[in-house]
């Protein structure tokens, strides 16, 4: 009985620390917990290949058969019926009564690039030059035929329920590299299709959620961290105000020694440091002309996404663990595929290629994992005259940088690019693989909530070993 009692007490103390000593204190505690976890052999069980992730999210659904997964059969059978049943619950207009649709050939020419001979369509001329840096997964599949579900799936591993986002799990698992900055930053995250839940912490402690810079429809140059700067002029004296505050708080703490109060003191200190560091990071005015051009910031079409990618690199350099960059919700071409995809690819192709190049030049390519993804692909059958519907059954993502084979392609779809067929990779598998590359075993990174140990991949997920470098 006595032992039992003691157990309760020590458990409770740990919990007490966990729930109250937050902010700066929490980071310290986290680092401490992190070391314990390593020593105990749980959670972080192998040497990480990457120290951070940049996730480039193409919101709306990029068509794989028009980008990286060429299907010659499409041109042969353009306008003919799909010879098998398509997925359920898609738009009725693209099917005839039997549930079949008519195939639609791609408009864009494909060509092989680099030594790896990767196929890339003319939509992606700049990225094509990096063919030998890319590792394609052409057999992706996911859950959810609507954006809401699939966007939630790619960000949180669940198509319906609120769960922590990938970046929040990474922050929880690895903590911050730079104590003056959050571990997870989302640049212009989508405000629709779940909005904040796509970069939230759900039931994980709140400081694991992303610090957001604006949202997907804000102008990149205006995107900033909330309340980073004082609201009015009198704050010219803010440093003195903080000194005064610190004195008052310390006196209060001195009487009580309550760690909660210490947490408040540290949170003001950290905030003040963030206030010193972050604005400079967000301000790109000191970047050279060459760098700006590398990201396409000199051209109207590419300046916005180029700016976002450049910010990602800057946060990366500053030691942020997980950085997401999102396009607006523009890829959803049920109509106007040719015009839409041309415009969208144009706006991101050069900036992404620039980012890869820049990471290389700065020697960061070797410990940074870049993931390019979309919530689902698009059907090889036509919707309307010039469009494609959602396709969660088969699509392409690519990874690049630390931890993955360069100039490699994994998995395939069927002859028309509809269903993932060989070496299928589910979204859960992609998540497991990203965590693996960061040195985390996805089955061991758990958090207890409502009586259950939750993990990013739920009860699923398998590391795609074939693509690991």
Partner 1 sequence: MWDAMSQTKLITIVLSAFFGVGAITASNVVASDGRATQVDFFETTIRPVLVEHCYECHSAEAGEAKGGLRLDSKQGWLVGGDSGPAIIPGKPDESHVLLAINYSGDMSEMPPKSRLSSKVIRDFTQWIEDGAVDPREDEGSAVQKRVIDIEAGKKFWSFQPRQTFSEECSIDGLARPQSPPASADKLVRRLFLDVIGLPPTLEEQRNFQAVYSNESPGRAVEVFLEDLFGRKEFGEKWARHWLDVARYADSNGSDFNLTYPEAWRYRNYVIEALNDDLPYDQFLLEQIAGDLLPYDTLEQRNQQLVATTFLMVGPKMLTERDKEKMRLDIADEQLDTISRATMGLTLGCARCHDHKFDPIPTTDYYALAAILHSTLTTDGILMNNVNISGWKETDLLINEDERQRLETFRSKIKNIEENIQQKKQQRDKVLDSVAGVLVDDIDATRKGKWRKSTHRPKYVGDHYLVADDQESPFSIEWKAALPKPGRYELRVSFRGGKGLATKAHYTVHHAEGENQVVVDQTVLPSIDQLWQPIGQFECDTHVVVNLAGSATDKPVLADAIRLVHVEDLEKDMPTDTSSLDEEIKHLEEALAGIKKDSPKIPRAMASQDNGSERIGDLHIRIRGETKNIGEKTPRGFLQVVSWNGAAQPSIPAHQSGRVQLAEWITAKENPLTARVMVNRIWQHLFGRGIVETSDNFGVRGTVPSNPELLDFLAEEFVNSNWSVKSVIRKIIRSKAYQQAVTEFSEEIVERVQFQKQYRRPAPAETIRDSLLALSGKLDGEPRDSVVSEFGMYAIESNGKRHVSLGQTGKLRQRSVYLPVVRGAIPPSLAIFDFPNPDLVTGKRATTTVPAQALFMMNSPFVHEMSHALSLLLLQNNVTIEKSIQQLYRRVLIRQAGHDEVSKGKKYVAELIEEGQPLEQAFASFVQVLFCSAEFRFIE
Subset of 28-57 contacting partner 1 (CB under 8 A): none
394 binds partner 1 (CB under 8 A): no
Window contacting partner 1 (CB under 8 A); options: 29-37, 255-263, 310-318, 348-356: 255-263
For partner 1, the closer of residues 79 and 363 by Cβ is: 79
Query: What gap in Å lies between CA 378 and CA 392, rounded to an integer?
Result: 8
Q: Please state, in angstroms and rounded to a whole number, the distance separating the CA atoms of residues 100 and 274.
A: 56
Q: Is 88 in the site for partner 1 (CB under 8 A)?
A: yes
Applying CB under 8 A, does 263 fall inside the site for partner 1?
yes
Residue 35 or 252: the one with the smaller Cβ distance to partner 1 is 252
Determine, following the binding rule CB under 8 A, whether residue 257 of this chain makes contact with partner 1.
yes
Least Å distance, CB 122 to partner 1, is 21
Decide whether 153 or 364 has the Cβ nearer to partner 1. Answer: 153
Measured from the CB atom, is 127 or 320 closer to partner 1? 320
Which listed residue (147, 431, 436, 455) binds partner 1 by CB under 8 A?
Answer: 147
Query: In the complex, what is the shortest distance from the CB of residue 264 to partner 1, in angstroms, rounded to a whole number?
Result: 4
Cβ of residue 279: shortest distance to partner 1, in angstroms? 12
Residues 155-184 that bind partner 1 (CB under 8 A): 159-160, 162
Q: Please identify which residue in 56, 185, 187, 265 interacts with partner 1, judged by CB under 8 A.
A: 265
Judged by beta carbon, residue 68 or residue 329, the one nearer partner 1 is 329
* Residue 244 in contact with partner 1, rule: CB under 8 A: yes
* Residue 202 found at the interface with partner 1 (CB under 8 A): yes
- Which of 226, 285, 288, 290 is in the footprint of partner 1 by CB under 8 A? 226
Among 41, 117, 230, 279, binds partner 1 (CB under 8 A): 230
Q: Please, what's the b/e burial string for 77-88 (b: 16 or more CB within 10 A of its CB; e: otherwise)?
A: beeeebeeebbe
Q: By CB under 8 A, name the one of 221, 247, 298, 366 that touches partner 1.
A: 247
Does residue 414 bind partner 1 (CB under 8 A)? yes
Per-residue binder mask for partner 1 (CB under 8 A), 440-459, x = binder = --------x-xxx------x
Query: Closest CB to partner 1 among 36 and 84?
Result: 84
Question: Number of residues in contact with partner 1, rule: CB under 8 A?
Answer: 109
* Binder of partner 1 out of 335, 343, 362, 469 (CB under 8 A): 335
Do 392 and 420 form a contact (C-beta atoms < 8 A)? no
Q: Does 318 bind partner 1 (CB under 8 A)?
A: no
Task: Note whether 319 binds partner 1 by CB under 8 A.
Answer: no
The reply to whether 415 sits near partner 1 by the rule CB under 8 A is yes
| Span near partner 1 by CB under 8 A; candidates 125-133, 267-275, 284-292, 355-363 | 267-275
Which of 32, 117, 206, 366 touches partner 1 (CB under 8 A)?
206
For the chain, give the secondary structure using H, E and C: CHHHHHHHHHHHHHHHHHHHCCCHHHHHHHHHHHHHHHHHCCCCCCCCCCCEEEEEEECCCCCCCCCCCCCHHHHHCCCCECCCCCCCCCCHHHCCCCCCCEECCCCCCEEEECCCCEEEECCCHHHHCCHHHEEEEEEEECCCCCHHHHHHHHHHCCCCCCCCCHHHHHHHHHCCCCCCCCCEEEECCCCCCCHHHHCCCCCCCHHHCCEEECCCCCCHHHCCCCCCCCCCHHHHHHHHHHHHHHHHHHHHHHHHCCHHHHHHHHHHHHHHHHHHHHHHHHCCCCCCHHHHHHCCCCCHHHHHHHHHHHHHHHHHHHCCCEEEEECCCCCCCCCCHHHHHHHHHHHHHHHHHHHHHHHHHCCCCCCEEEEEEECCEEEEEECCCCCEEEECCCEEEEEEECCECCCEEECEECCCCCCEEECCEEHHHHHHHHHHHCCCCCCCCCEEECCEEECCCCCCCCCCHHHEC
Q: Does 76 bind partner 1 (CB under 8 A)?
A: yes
Residue range at the interface with partner 1 (CB under 8 A); choices 46-54, 124-132, 347-355, 414-422: 414-422
Q: Is 106 in the site for partner 1 (CB under 8 A)?
A: no
How far apart, in whole angstroms, are the C-alpha atoms of residue 328 and residue 176? 27
């Amino acid at each position: 009985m006595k032992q039992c009692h003691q157990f309760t007490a020590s458990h409770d103390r740990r919990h007490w620390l966990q729930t109250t000593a937050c902010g700066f204190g929490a980071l310290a505690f986290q680092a401490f917990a992190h070391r314990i976890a390593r020593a105990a052999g749980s959670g972080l069980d192998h040497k990480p290949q990457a120290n951070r992730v940049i996730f480039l999210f193409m919101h709306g659904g990029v068509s794989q058969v028009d980008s990286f997964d060429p299907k010659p059969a499409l041109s042969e059978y353009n306008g003919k019926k799909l010879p098998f049943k398509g997925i359920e619950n898609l738009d009725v207009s693209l099917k005839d009564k039997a549930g079949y649709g008519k195939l639609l050939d791609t408009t864009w020419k494909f060509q092989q690039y680099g030594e790896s001979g990767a196929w890339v369509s003319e939509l992606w001329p700049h990225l094509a030059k990096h063919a030998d840096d890319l590792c394609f997964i052409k057999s992706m599949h996911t859950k959810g035929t609507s954006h809401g579900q699939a966007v939630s799936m790619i960000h949180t591993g669940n198509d319906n329920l609120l769960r922590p986002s990938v970046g929040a799990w990474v922050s929880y698992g690895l903590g911050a590299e730079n104590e003056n900055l959050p571990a997870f930053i989302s640049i212009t995250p989508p405000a629709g299709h779940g909005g904040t839940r796509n970069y939230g912490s759900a039931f994980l402690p709140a400081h694991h959620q992303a610090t957001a810079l604006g949202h997907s429809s804000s102008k990149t140059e205006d995107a900033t961290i909330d309340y980073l700067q004082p609201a009015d002029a009198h704050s010219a004296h803010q440093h003195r105000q903080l000194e005064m505050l610190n004195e008052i708080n310390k006196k209060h703490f001195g009487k009580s020694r309550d760690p909660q109060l210490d947490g408040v003191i540290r949170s003001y200190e950290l905030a003040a440091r963030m206030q010193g560091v972050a604005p400079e990071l967000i301000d790109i005015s000191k970047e050279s002309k060459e760098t700006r051009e590398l990201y396409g910031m000199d051209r109207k079409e590419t300046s916005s996404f180029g700016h976002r990618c450049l910010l990602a690199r800057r946060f990366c350099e500053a030691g942020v663990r997980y950085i997401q960059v999102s396009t607006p919700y523009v890829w959803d071409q049920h109509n106007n595929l040719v015009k839409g995809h041309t415009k969208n690819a144009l706006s991101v192709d050069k900036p992404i290629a620039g980012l890869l190049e820049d990471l290389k030049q700065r020697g960061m390519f070797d410990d940074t994992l870049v993931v390019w993804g979309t919530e689902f692909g698009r059907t090889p059958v036509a919707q309307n005259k010039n469009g494609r519907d959602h396709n969660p059954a088969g699509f392409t993502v690519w990874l690049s940088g630390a931890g993955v084979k360069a100039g490699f392609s994994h998995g395939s779809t069927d002859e028309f690019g509809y269903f993932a067929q060989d070496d299928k990779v589910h979204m859960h598998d992609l998540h497991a693989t990203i965590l693996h590359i960061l040195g985390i075993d996805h089955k061991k990174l758990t958090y207890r909530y409502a009586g259950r140990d939750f993990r990013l991949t739920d009860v699923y997920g398998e590391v795609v070993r074939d693509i690991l470098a």
